[in-house]
Structure 1
Amino acid sequence: MNSSEIIYLSKGLPKSSVYKDEAYVSGIWKEQSDELFVGFDQINGDQVAHPEYHGGSDRVVCVYPFEHYAHWESIFGHTLTPSAFGENLTVAGMKEDQVCIGDVFQIGEAVLQVSQGRYPCSTINKRNNNHLLLKRIIQTGYTGYFFRVLEEGKITANSQIKKLISHPDQITVSSIHHLYFHEASPSMERIEKIMAVEELAAPWRKYLLDLIEKHQK
Structure 2
Amino acid sequence: MRLLAVSIGDAKPVAGKSSGRSGIDKRPVDHPVMIGREGLAGDRIINRKYHGGADQAVYIEGSVDYDWWRSELGRDLPAGTFGENLLIEGLDNRHVAVGDRFRIGDVLLEITSARTPCATFAAHMGDPLMVKRYAAAARPGAYARVLEEGVVRAGDTVDYMPVAGDRIGMPELMRTHGKRLDEDAKRRFLAAPIGERLRVMILAK
TM-score normalised by L of structure 1? 0.84
Task: Tell me the secondary structure at the aligned position of residue 72 of structure 2.
Answer: helix
- The answer to whether residue 177 in structure 2 is matched with residue 188 in structure 1 is no
2-side partners of 1:142 and 1:163: how far apart? 18
Cα 1:67–1:178 shift into 2, 3 Å: same
Counterpart amino acid of residue 20 in structure 2 = Y
Match of 1:203 in 2: 197
- 8 Å CA contact 2:139–2:170 kept in 1: the answer is no
- 8 Å CA contact 1:108–1:156 kept in 2: the answer is no
Displacement over 6 Å in runs of 4+: none
Task: Tell me the secondary structure at the aligned position of residue 14 of structure 2.
Answer: strand
Larger relative contact order (CA 8 Å, sep ≥ 6):
2
Counterpart amino acid of residue 16 in structure 2 = Y
Structure 2 unaligned runs (5+)?
none
Deviation at residue 53 of structure 1 after TM alignment: 1.7
What is the 5 A alignment of 1:20-99? Answer: 22-34=18-30, 35-99=32-96
Aligned Cα root-mean-square deviation (Å): 2.1
Deviation at residue 179 of structure 1 after TM alignment: 3.3
Task: Tell me the secondary structure at the aligned position of residue 133 of structure 2.
Answer: helix
2:10 to 7, 10, 13: 13
Counterpart amino acid of residue 159 in structure 2 = K
- 8 Å CA contact 1:116–1:173 kept in 2: the answer is yes
1-side partners of 2:27 and 2:136: how far apart? 28
- 8 Å CA contact 1:5–1:91 kept in 2: the answer is yes
2-side partners of 1:45 and 1:60: how far apart? 13
- 8 Å CA contact 2:94–2:139 kept in 1: the answer is no
TM-score normalised by L of structure 2? 0.89
Counterpart amino acid of residue 190 in structure 2 = M
Is the radius of gyration larger for structure 1 or structure 2?
1
Counterpart amino acid of residue 59 in structure 1 = Q
- 8 Å CA contact 1:106–1:161 kept in 2: the answer is yes
- 8 Å CA contact 1:101–1:167 kept in 2: the answer is no
Deviation at residue 66 of structure 1 after TM alignment: 1.8
Q: Size of the alignment, in residue pairs?
A: 204
1-side partners of 2:54 and 2:176: how far apart? 25
- 8 Å CA contact 1:110–1:149 kept in 2: the answer is yes
Cα 1:70–1:158 shift into 2, 3 Å: closer
2-side partners of 1:70 and 1:132: how far apart? 20
